Amino acid sequence: MDKDTSTDQIRHWAQALQDGKMSRRQWLRRMLGTGLALPAIAAVLAETGVTIGTANAAPLRIFNVPKFTGFVFFELAKDGGQKACDELGAQQTYVGTTTADVEGQVQVLRNIVPQKPDGIVTAALDINAPVPVLKQARQRGAVVVTFDADVAPEGRDAFVNMAAFETQAKAMLESALYNAPDGGKSIWVAPTPTVLVTSTHPPCCFTIP
C-alpha cells in the first residue's frame, strides 16, 4: 500500500471509528497493514481530531511481554512502547519473567488473556510454545505483534524485525572478524535453542579463517 493510499485509508477508518462503525480493535488491526510509521499515523489522526485510546471507551490496553525483564534492550523497547501509547492515548502494561524461561513466558501470556487485552506485543523465547495462547488471544479479539524474535505466523498478526535477517547475520560476522582480525573461534548464542533469531538453527560456534 503506497503512502497516499495509506493516509486516505487512515482518515476513512478514523471517521468510521468516530461514527461507531468500527471497533478500536478493528482499527488497530488495520493499522498494521498500512506500512506507515507511528508518527505518520499519529499525524493523520491529529488532522481528524480522533483520539484512539479514549474514543467512547477506556484506553486501549496493550501488554508488552519481553523475553525477560531487566535487560537494557527490552527496557528501551518498553520506553518506546510507552511513547507510542502516549501518542495514541493507549495504556501499556509491561510484564515478563526475570530470566529466559519459555514456560514462564507462556504462563505470563496465559495470565494476560483473561484480562481481555486489545493488543499484545512480545519478543518470543520459542517459535512454537507461545502459539496456542496467542491464537486464543487473537480469537478473543486481541492484536498480536512480535518483535526481535518471531513466533509461527498463525500466532501473530505482524512481526516487526529490527533489520533483514541477512543484514543481521552479516553484521554479526563482521563484528566477530573485527574482534578477531587474525581469525579464531567465535560463539553465536541465542537465549534458547528454539528461538527464531537470524537463523532457525540453534546456538552455534563457528571458526573465522
Distance CA 39, CA 28 (A): 15
**pLDDT tens per residue, range 113-161:** 999 999 999 999 999 999 999 999 999 989 999 998 999 999 998 888 8
Check if the beta carbon of residue 1 is closer than 8 Å to that of residue 34.
Answer: yes
Report the percent of the chain where pLDDT is more than 90: 40
pLDDT value of residue 39: 67
- Contact by Cβ (8 Å): 91, 162: no
Cα separation of 103 and 155, whole Å?
16
Are 34 and 94 in a shared domain?
no
| Closest CA relative to residue 147, chosen from 197, 204, 104 | 197
Please state the domain count of the chain: 3
By residue range, what is the domain housing residue 182?
A: 165-208
199 and 141 within one domain? no
Shared-domain flag, residues 71 and 51: no
pTM for this model (two decimals): 0.69
pLDDT tens, residue by residue, 10-60: 778 877 877 778 777 777 777 776 766 666 777 777 776 666 555 455 788
**Could you read off the pLDDT of 164-207 as tens digits, one per residue?**
777 877 887 888 888 778 777 777 766 666 665 433 333 444 44
Tell me: do 130 and 153 sit in the same domain: yes
Q: Are residues 151 and 201 in the same domain?
A: no
The pLDDT assigned to 199 comes to 38
